[in-house]
């Protein structure tokens, strides 16, 4: 599927209207923000999530063998995306569980495979950097990360410092432009 500029602008408008909150919010990075993108609002809407996944599909790098969704918001995104691209998924925990399989990454095997890390919203990039390092230690080749929203607050640069190229469906600027009449 190829997104037209109009279709992508419509998607940005719908995501913005669905998930942008105003107030005082502490982000995972520890930063305080006056706006928050409540990604669970678009992830919980099956029609909107499917539109997101269809648009993300065109951003999956050639040669990708496994999609790795980060706990917790990346899990629904990666599952929906997999339906569009036909690739297996790994579900990546923040820390390996202490029971059952005791794995950090559940689902598809990642060792020796080209893995695309999938996240919902990127701010500082901290969790993507941490999780990518852990996946690499488990034998995965990770060169790219994909996110639905890049807040434009240094995350892409932080990833680049660790050899990870970011592909973002939408940026904060896209969502801001979608609000304008």
Whichever domain contains 158, its CATH number is 3.40.50.2020
6 is in an annotated binding site: no
CA distances from 1 to 43, 88, 120, 160 (A): 20, 20, 20, 28
141 is in an annotated binding site: no
Which residues in 129-147 are b (16+ Cβ under 10 Å) and which e?
bebbebbbebebebebbbb
As beta bridge partners, residue 25 has 33
The confidence band for 91, taking pLDDT boundaries of 50, 70 and 90, is very high
48 is in an annotated binding site: no
Which pLDDT value is given to residue 108?
97
120 is in an annotated binding site: yes
39 is in an annotated binding site: no
97 is in an annotated binding site: yes
pLDDT tens string 49-69: 999 999 999 999 999 999 999
122 is in an annotated binding site: yes
pLDDT (mean) for 123-139: 96
The confidence band for 3, taking pLDDT boundaries of 50, 70 and 90, is confident
125 is in an annotated binding site: yes
| Domain limits for position 137 | 5-179
pLDDT (mean) for 37-56: 96
Q: How many domains does the chain have?
A: 1
pTM of the complete model: 0.93
121 is in an annotated binding site: yes
Greater confidence (21 vs 97) lies with 21
Q: What average pLDDT does the chain have?
A: 94
67 is in an annotated binding site: no
The confidence band for 102, taking pLDDT boundaries of 50, 70 and 90, is confident
Which pLDDT value is given to residue 1?
47
């Amino acid at each position: 599927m190829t997104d037209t500029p109009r279709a992508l602008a419509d998607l940005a408008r719908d995501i913005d209207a669905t998930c942008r909150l105003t107030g005082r919010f502490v982000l995972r990075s520890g930063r305080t923000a006056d706006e928050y993108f409540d990604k669970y609002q678009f992830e919980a809407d099956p029609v909107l999530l499917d539109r997101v996944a269809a648009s993300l599909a065109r951003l999956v790098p050639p040669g990708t063998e496994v999609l790795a969704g980060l706990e917790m918001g990346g899990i629904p995104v990666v599952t929906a995306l997999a339906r569009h691209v036909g690739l297996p998924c790994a579900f990546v925990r923040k820390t390996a569980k202490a029971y059952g399989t005791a794995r950090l990454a559940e689902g598809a095997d990642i060792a020796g495979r080209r893995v695309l890390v999938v996240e919902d919203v990127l701010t500082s990039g901290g969790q993507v950097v941490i999780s990518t390092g852990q996946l690499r230690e488990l034998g995965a080749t990770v060169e790219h990360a994909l996110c639905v929203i890049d807040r434009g607050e240094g995350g892409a640069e932080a990833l680049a410092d660790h050899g990870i190229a970011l592909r973002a469906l939408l940026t904060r600027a896209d969502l801001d432009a979608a609000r304008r009449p």
